[in-house]
Amino acid sequence: MGFHVEIDEAKCQGCGNCVPACATCMIEVADGKAKVDEPDRCSGGG
Task: State pLDDT tens for residues 1-43.
Answer: 456 778 898 999 999 999 998 877 889 999 999 998 777 777 6
The alpha carbon of 35 is separated from its chain's Cα centroid by a whole number of angstroms, namely: 5
Contact 3, 11 (CB under 8 A): no
**Strand pairing partners for 27?**
36
Q: How many angstroms separate the CA atoms of 20 and 30, rounded? A: 15
Residue 2's pLDDT is what? Answer: 57
pTM of the model: 0.69
Residue 45's pLDDT is what? Answer: 62
